[in-house]
């Protein structure tokens, strides 16, 4: 059974930005889009073991800080070389101003 894990207050993430969230030995990246929606993916790039929370969010795209590999953080889709493996995404909800992720 997957449960909802509390991440942070919604204002802890700037608009069009990303933060790191660690939970039980796993690491995630939590995003706030320019449209004010919240999203979650695995924390590390699928190219090398580099955390995406140091990367740049532009619209729907997270760009990896190491070699600029790009993913759509809403779908997890890898957008081309050097990254070819998609990112795993996780459901996110906002409840009373708090952000929750279902890590399953």
Instruction: Decide: is 11 part of the binding site for other proteins (CB under 8 A).
Output: no
**Which one of other proteins, ligand FES, none is in contact with 81 (Cβ closer than 5 to 8 A by kind)?**
other proteins
- The entry of ligand FES, other proteins, none that residue 54 binds, CB within 5 to 8 Å by partner kind: other proteins
The single residue among 9, 84, 93, 95 that binds other proteins, judged by CB under 8 A, is 84
User: Residue 16 interacts with other proteins (CB under 8 A)?
Assistant: yes
d(CA 29, CA 84): 19
CB 17 within 8 A of CB 36: no
**Helix, strand, or coil here: 16?**
coil
CA distance 33 to 25: 26
CB of 92 to ligand FES, least distance (A): 22
User: Between the CA of residue 26 and those of 6, 15, 33, 48, 86, what are the distances in Å?
Assistant: 14, 24, 23, 16, 18
Q: Which is nearer to ligand FES, 3 or 49 (CB)?
A: 49
Q: How far is the CB of 67 from ligand FES (least distance, A)?
A: 4
């Amino acid at each position: 059974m997957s449960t909802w894990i509390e991440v942070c207050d919604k204002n802890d993430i700037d608009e069009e930005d990303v933060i790191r969230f660690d939970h039980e030995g796993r690491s995630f990246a939590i995003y706030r889009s320019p449209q004010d929606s919240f999203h979650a993916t695995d924390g590390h790039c699928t190219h090398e073991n580099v955390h995406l929370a140091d990367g740049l969010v532009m619209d729907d795209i997270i760009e990896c800080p190491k070699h600029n590999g790009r993913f759509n953080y809403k779908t997890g889709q890898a957008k081309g070389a050097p990254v070819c493996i998609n990112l795993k995404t996780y459901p996110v909800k906002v409840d009373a101003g708090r952000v929750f992720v279902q890590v399953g």
